[in-house]
Amino acid sequence: MDRGDAVTLGCGPFRRGEHFLMSASVIYALRVECEGLVVRVVMNDVDVFDDWTGARRVVRTEINPYIIEGSNRLEVLLTPMTDDDGQVMDTVREFQLTLIKGEPGHGHDDPARIAHYEWREDEAPVTPGALTDVWSRQFNVRPEHAFGRWVWQDSPSAVPGQEDSLELLALTEIVHSALERRDVDAVVELTAWRDRELARAHGISLDAQVAGQRARYEQLFASPAWSLEAFDPQRLAASPHARGRLMRVTDAVGDAPIKGTDGKHAFTFPIMACRIDGSWTIVR
């Protein structure tokens, strides 16, 4: 999700051979405009954009890490903003979305539009207090325009239990601790699978992906003002995606579970994990 000047490490809004660049010339992106609504945009059963504030938002976010070979499904769920008494707020309500496929280095010139949706309340009324599925689109991606098979696609599909949530909270605390003590090596090790898959999604080598992340951490940690918000597991939650293959850890309002600052910019660290060899591992 767009956060202005915030520094976000990872992905919001990837697995393959370490130096084999597939489909480096393809970028899938969503452009979302919304106001006065709670919004969820879901790609292949994974949230790729959400907003719970109803604020005016104009966001462009790349979604390569959630595109799969073959059939893909994009969904939009909406509900109107309500006040503390549950009454619908008297405000402008609008939403539109465009899914595009383009090439890096070409800016926004002549992207291929895969889908477009503009919500109209008279055509698709939404229920206060409950997200309503107002639109969906199925589209196919040929192998040469995909990125291979993601590790989460082969993760077990199961309803996560209390033990899974506790393991994910423990993983989040380990990451928080590594960031707090400015341990670049530990953070890079904890996000190794995420870097593998992000490299593939971005069409770069694993070495380049890891070097870029390492440089960002080193720059953040070099700031005398580097600090994190205190770790509080009572404010965190874990939600399933992709039929339980993925779990996202968030704070109480759906934002990243780890936040901080280097004194100039806000910092967020999103966490989405899947089971690899029986353990929850950060992959997004």
- Please give the C-alpha separations between residue 27 and each of 36, 43, 281, in angstroms, as whole numbers: 29, 15, 26
Residue range 212-229: mean pLDDT, rounded: 97
Cβ–Cβ < 8 Å for 283, 203: no
DSSP element (H, E) containing 7: strand 7-8
pTM of the model: 0.83
| 3-state secondary structure at position 52 | coil
Cβ–Cβ < 8 Å for 197, 20: no
Quick one: pLDDT at residue 78?
Answer: 97
Each residue's pLDDT tens digit, 248-278? 999 988 889 999 999 999 999 999 999 999 9
Each residue's pLDDT tens digit, 10-29? 444 422 222 333 445 689 99
Residue range 102-125: mean pLDDT, rounded: 80
